[in-house]
Protein backbone atom coordinates (compact mmCIF):
# COMPACT_ATOMS: atom_id res chain seq x y z
CA UNK A 1 0.00 0.00 0.00
CA UNK A 2 2.75 2.44 0.90
CA UNK A 3 4.05 2.56 -2.66
CA UNK A 4 0.81 4.14 -3.88
CA UNK A 5 1.03 7.15 -1.60
CA UNK A 6 3.56 9.19 -3.56
CA UNK A 7 1.07 10.91 -5.85
CA UNK A 8 -1.53 11.31 -3.13
CA UNK A 9 -3.48 8.77 -1.18
CA UNK A 10 -6.05 6.78 -3.06
CA UNK A 11 -9.58 7.36 -1.76
CA UNK A 12 -9.96 3.80 -0.44
CA UNK A 13 -6.71 4.15 1.53
CA UNK A 14 -7.85 7.46 2.98
CA UNK A 15 -11.13 5.89 4.05
CA UNK A 16 -9.53 2.81 5.63
CA UNK A 17 -6.87 4.74 7.53
CA UNK A 18 -9.34 7.42 8.58
CA UNK A 19 -11.54 4.75 10.17
CA UNK A 20 -8.58 3.36 12.07
CA UNK A 21 -7.60 6.84 13.22
CA UNK A 22 -11.14 7.94 13.98
CA UNK A 23 -10.70 11.13 11.97
CA UNK A 24 -11.76 12.07 8.44
CA UNK A 25 -9.32 14.58 6.97
CA UNK A 26 -10.63 17.73 5.38
CA UNK A 27 -7.27 18.20 3.66
CA UNK A 28 -5.92 14.83 2.55
CA UNK A 29 -2.60 16.47 1.63
CA UNK A 30 -1.81 16.80 5.32
CA UNK A 31 -2.27 13.08 5.80
CA UNK A 32 -0.10 12.34 2.76
CA UNK A 33 2.67 14.56 4.13
CA UNK A 34 2.41 12.94 7.57
CA UNK A 35 3.02 9.56 5.96
CA UNK A 36 6.02 10.68 3.87
CA UNK A 37 9.41 9.75 5.32
CA UNK A 38 12.43 12.00 4.77
CA UNK A 39 14.01 9.30 2.57
CA UNK A 40 11.39 10.14 -0.07
CA UNK A 41 11.35 13.91 -0.35
CA UNK A 42 12.26 17.23 1.24
CA UNK A 43 8.50 17.63 1.64
CA UNK A 44 8.33 15.09 4.43
CA UNK A 45 6.76 14.59 7.85
CA UNK A 46 9.50 15.92 10.12
CA UNK A 47 7.85 19.28 10.88
CA UNK A 48 4.53 17.57 11.53
CA UNK A 49 6.32 15.12 13.81
CA UNK A 50 7.72 18.03 15.83
CA UNK A 51 4.25 19.49 16.21
CA UNK A 52 2.61 16.17 17.11
CA UNK A 53 5.30 15.39 19.68
CA UNK A 54 4.57 18.61 21.57
CA UNK A 55 0.81 18.07 21.59
CA UNK A 56 1.16 14.41 22.60
CA UNK A 57 3.36 15.27 25.57
CA UNK A 58 0.92 17.92 26.77
CA UNK A 59 -2.19 15.74 26.42
CA UNK A 60 -0.56 12.76 28.16
CA UNK A 61 0.75 15.03 30.92
CA UNK A 62 -2.73 16.47 31.49
CA UNK A 63 -4.29 13.00 31.60
CA UNK A 64 -1.73 11.77 34.12
CA UNK A 65 -2.18 14.88 36.27
CA UNK A 66 -5.90 14.22 36.57
CA UNK A 67 -5.78 10.42 36.69
CA UNK A 68 -2.91 9.98 39.13
CA UNK A 69 -3.25 12.54 41.95
CA UNK A 70 -1.17 10.18 44.10
CA UNK A 71 2.01 10.77 42.09
CA UNK A 72 4.52 13.57 42.52
CA UNK A 73 6.24 15.44 39.68
CA UNK A 74 9.15 13.04 39.28
CA UNK A 75 6.95 9.95 39.08
CA UNK A 76 4.55 11.71 36.71
CA UNK A 77 7.46 12.59 34.43
CA UNK A 78 8.73 9.02 34.41
CA UNK A 79 5.27 7.63 33.74
CA UNK A 80 4.72 10.07 30.90
CA UNK A 81 8.10 9.10 29.41
CA UNK A 82 7.02 5.45 29.48
CA UNK A 83 3.82 6.29 27.62
CA UNK A 84 5.32 8.49 24.88
CA UNK A 85 8.62 6.73 24.25
CA UNK A 86 9.52 5.16 20.92
CA UNK A 87 8.44 1.66 21.91
CA UNK A 88 5.02 2.74 23.20
CA UNK A 89 4.31 4.87 20.13
CA UNK A 90 5.41 2.09 17.78
CA UNK A 91 3.08 -0.34 19.56
CA UNK A 92 0.12 1.98 19.03
CA UNK A 93 1.14 2.51 15.40
CA UNK A 94 1.18 -1.25 14.87
CA UNK A 95 -2.25 -1.61 16.45
CA UNK A 96 -3.71 0.52 13.63
CA UNK A 97 -1.33 -0.98 11.02
CA UNK A 98 0.12 2.44 10.29
CA UNK A 99 3.24 0.92 8.77
CA UNK A 100 1.19 -0.22 5.78
CA UNK A 101 0.69 3.41 4.77
CA UNK A 102 4.13 4.93 5.30
CA UNK A 103 5.87 6.09 2.12
CA UNK A 104 9.57 5.24 2.21
CA UNK A 105 12.54 5.61 -0.10
CA UNK A 106 14.00 2.56 -1.79
CA UNK A 107 16.70 1.96 0.80
CA UNK A 108 14.29 2.14 3.73
CA UNK A 109 11.85 -0.16 1.96
CA UNK A 110 14.54 -2.78 1.41
CA UNK A 111 15.63 -2.62 5.04
CA UNK A 112 12.08 -3.06 6.34
CA UNK A 113 11.66 0.52 7.51
CA UNK A 114 7.89 0.20 7.76
CA UNK A 115 8.46 -2.17 10.70
CA UNK A 116 11.09 -0.07 12.48
CA UNK A 117 10.07 1.42 15.83
CA UNK A 118 11.65 4.80 15.12
CA UNK A 119 9.83 5.26 11.82
CA UNK A 120 6.50 4.07 13.18
CA UNK A 121 6.78 6.33 16.24
CA UNK A 122 7.77 9.37 14.19
CA UNK A 123 4.98 8.77 11.69
CA UNK A 124 2.35 8.49 14.41
CA UNK A 125 3.48 11.80 15.89
CA UNK A 126 3.36 13.35 12.41
CA UNK A 127 -0.21 12.11 11.96
CA UNK A 128 -1.14 13.75 15.27
CA UNK A 129 0.39 16.99 14.03
CA UNK A 130 -1.58 16.70 10.80
CA UNK A 131 -4.83 16.13 12.71
CA UNK A 132 -4.13 19.23 14.79
CA UNK A 133 -3.69 21.35 11.65
CA UNK A 134 -6.71 19.79 9.99
CA UNK A 135 -9.17 19.84 12.87
CA UNK A 136 -7.68 21.79 15.76
CA UNK A 137 -6.54 20.90 19.25
CA UNK A 138 -9.77 19.23 20.39
CA UNK A 139 -9.69 16.82 17.44
CA UNK A 140 -6.08 15.91 18.14
CA UNK A 141 -6.73 15.51 21.87
CA UNK A 142 -9.70 13.24 21.17
CA UNK A 143 -7.56 11.06 18.91
CA UNK A 144 -4.80 10.73 21.49
CA UNK A 145 -7.34 9.78 24.13
CA UNK A 146 -8.79 7.10 21.83
CA UNK A 147 -5.40 5.71 20.85
CA UNK A 148 -4.25 5.66 24.47
CA UNK A 149 -7.56 4.50 25.96
CA UNK A 150 -6.21 1.14 27.12
CA UNK A 151 -2.99 2.64 28.41
CA UNK A 152 -4.90 5.22 30.44
CA UNK A 153 -7.33 2.58 31.72
CA UNK A 154 -4.41 0.47 32.97
CA UNK A 155 -2.67 3.31 34.82
CA UNK A 156 -3.77 2.18 38.33
CA UNK A 157 -1.92 -1.10 37.68
CA UNK A 158 1.25 0.63 36.62
CA UNK A 159 4.07 1.44 38.98
CA UNK A 160 6.09 4.47 38.04
CA UNK A 161 9.72 3.43 38.42
CA UNK A 162 12.85 5.47 38.58
CA UNK A 163 14.99 5.21 35.48
CA UNK A 164 17.66 2.46 35.37
CA UNK A 165 20.62 4.80 35.85
CA UNK A 166 19.07 6.25 38.99
CA UNK A 167 18.13 2.82 40.36
CA UNK A 168 21.62 1.47 39.70
CA UNK A 169 23.27 4.46 41.35
CA UNK A 170 21.03 4.17 44.43
CA UNK A 171 21.72 0.43 44.64
CA UNK A 172 25.49 1.01 44.55
CA UNK A 173 25.41 3.90 47.00
CA UNK A 174 23.36 1.90 49.48
CA UNK A 175 26.18 -0.68 49.49
CA UNK A 176 28.99 1.90 49.48
CA UNK A 177 30.18 0.69 46.09
CA UNK A 178 31.82 2.88 43.41
CA UNK A 179 29.56 4.72 41.02
CA UNK A 180 29.14 3.25 37.52
CA UNK A 181 31.14 4.42 34.54
CA UNK A 182 29.59 4.58 31.05
CA UNK A 183 31.53 4.23 27.85
CA UNK A 184 30.41 4.53 24.23
CA UNK A 185 31.86 1.45 22.53
CA UNK A 186 30.45 1.98 19.06
CA UNK A 187 28.45 4.47 16.97
CA UNK A 188 26.85 3.01 13.85
CA UNK A 189 24.47 4.22 11.18
CA UNK A 190 23.96 7.41 9.24
CA UNK A 191 24.21 10.77 10.97
CA UNK A 192 20.46 11.17 11.43
CA UNK A 193 19.85 7.58 12.52
CA UNK A 194 22.87 6.70 14.61
CA UNK A 195 22.86 3.80 17.07
CA UNK A 196 25.01 4.15 20.18
CA UNK A 197 26.34 1.02 21.86
CA UNK A 198 27.24 1.75 25.47
CA UNK A 199 28.81 -0.31 28.25
CA UNK A 200 28.30 0.19 31.98
CA UNK A 201 31.02 -0.87 34.42
CA UNK A 202 31.49 -0.71 38.18
CA UNK A 203 35.05 -0.93 39.48
CA UNK A 204 34.48 -3.72 42.02
CA UNK A 205 31.95 -5.71 39.96
CA UNK A 206 33.05 -8.08 37.21
CA UNK A 207 29.70 -7.97 35.39
CA UNK A 208 29.31 -5.46 32.56
CA UNK A 209 26.06 -3.99 31.31
CA UNK A 210 25.58 -3.27 27.62
CA UNK A 211 22.87 -1.55 25.61
CA UNK A 212 22.17 0.14 22.31
CA UNK A 213 19.84 3.01 21.47
CA UNK A 214 19.35 6.00 19.22
CA UNK A 215 21.09 8.42 21.58
CA UNK A 216 23.98 8.26 24.03
CA UNK A 217 21.69 8.96 26.96
CA UNK A 218 19.24 6.22 26.00
CA UNK A 219 22.16 3.86 25.44
CA UNK A 220 23.39 4.54 28.96
CA UNK A 221 19.93 3.81 30.33
CA UNK A 222 19.82 0.53 28.40
CA UNK A 223 23.27 -0.45 29.67
CA UNK A 224 22.27 0.35 33.27
CA UNK A 225 19.09 -1.72 32.86
CA UNK A 226 21.15 -4.63 31.53
CA UNK A 227 23.52 -4.47 34.50
CA UNK A 228 20.61 -4.32 36.95
CA UNK A 229 19.23 -7.47 35.33
CA UNK A 230 22.59 -9.26 35.47
CA UNK A 231 22.87 -8.34 39.15
CA UNK A 232 19.47 -9.96 39.73
CA UNK A 233 17.86 -6.68 40.76
CA UNK A 234 15.55 -6.05 37.82
CA UNK A 235 13.67 -7.81 35.07
CA UNK A 236 14.91 -6.94 31.57
CA UNK A 237 13.72 -3.47 30.66
CA UNK A 238 14.05 -1.20 27.72
CA UNK A 239 14.21 2.49 28.39
CA UNK A 240 14.16 4.77 25.38
CA UNK A 241 13.74 8.48 24.89
CA UNK A 242 12.71 10.70 22.06
Catalytic residue among 53, 63, 134, 226: 53
Which residues, including other chains, have CB under 8 Å from residue 142's CB and lie 6 or more apart? 22
Kindly write down the DSSP assignment for every residue of the chain, as one continuous string: -GGG-TT---HHHHHHHHHHHT---S-HHHHHHHTB-TTT-SS-SHHHHHHHHHHHHHHHHHHHHHH-TT--HHHHHHHHHHHHSHHHHHHHHHHTTGGGG-B--HHHHHTTGGG-HHHHHHHHHHHHHHHHHHH-HHHHHHHHHHHTHHHHHTGGG------HHHHHHHHHHHTTPPPPEEEEEEEES-GGG-EEEEEEE-TT---EEEEEESSHHHHHHHHHHHHHHHTTSS--------
Is 122 annotated as contributing to ligand binding? yes
Told to judge if 125 belongs to the known catalytic residues of this protein, a careful annotator would answer yes
Active site residue 15: no
Catalytic pick among 63, 125, 220, 234: 125
Task: Count Cβ atoms below 10 Å from residue 93 Cβ, excluding itself.
Answer: 24
Q: Flag whether 125 is marked binding.
A: yes
> Cα-flanking dihedrals φ and ψ of residue 161, to 5°?
-110, 150
138 is in an annotated binding site: no
Q: How far apart are the first and last CA of the chain?
A: 28
Residues that constitute the known binding site: 49, 122, 125
Residues with a known catalytic role: 53, 125
Residues that constitute the known binding site for Mg(2+): 49, 122, 125
Amino acid sequence: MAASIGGGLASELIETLSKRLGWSFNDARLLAQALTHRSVSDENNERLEFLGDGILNFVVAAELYHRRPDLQEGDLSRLRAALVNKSALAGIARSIELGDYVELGGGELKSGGHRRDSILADTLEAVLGAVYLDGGFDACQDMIQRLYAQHFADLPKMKAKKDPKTRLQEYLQSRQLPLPEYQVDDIAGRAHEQVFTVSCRVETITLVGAGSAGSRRAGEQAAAADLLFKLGIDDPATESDK
